[in-house]
Amino acid sequence: MTKPALRTDAEFAAFYERHWKYLYRLCYTYMKSEADADDCTEDVFVKVLTGDYSFTDETHERKWLTVTAINLCKDRLRHASRKQILSIDDENAPEIASPEEEDHKEVLTAVLNLPPKLKDVIWLYYFEEYSTDEIAKMLKRPPSTVRNQMKDARTRLKFLLEGSEQNA
């Protein structure tokens, strides 16, 4: 049975509080700008508020929000035809959902610089802890494609990270 759409201000406020930080960080990983991440995050919530969406539970909410945010960010990037490299050391960058250890910044930077199809699967698998089957459903890709993209992404990451170790 699905939970009815958000009908009251209090329901929306609780929904917003549950998800805004996660959505903002997700949008920031794509947009690489605080202002653009704010805009995308707000647009996802506007879509929820103005649409007639029903969710079965919080997991369903989060999956829907994840796919919606990723698609919205990709559309914005495609239309703007802009790409920037995120500097993890940028003092204005918000806290990103990443491993706590300082030495993982290099890995996160490499992940964020992967092509979008590869970044999506790596991000959802390692940082959001979805299974490959869940990712396939969310991204509307065959599970075998997701697994092949994971393999390709790991190969690229290994090459990038081994290359940077040799340059250090």
Segments making up each domain of the chain, as ranges: 1-96, 98-168
Helices and strands counted in the chain (H then E): 7, 0
pTM (predicted TM-score): 0.60
CA distances from 77 to 40, 137, 167 (A): 11, 23, 31
Phi and psi angles of residue 42, each rounded to the nearest 5 degrees, phi first? -60, -40
CATH topology of domain 1-96: Rna Polymerase Sigma Factor; Chain: A (1.10.1740)
Q: Which CATH class is domain 98-168?
A: mainly alpha
> What whole-number distance in Å separates Cα of residue 93 and Cα of residue 75?
22
pLDDT in tens, 74-128: 888 876 644 443 434 444 444 544 434 445 677 777 888 888 889 889 888 888 8
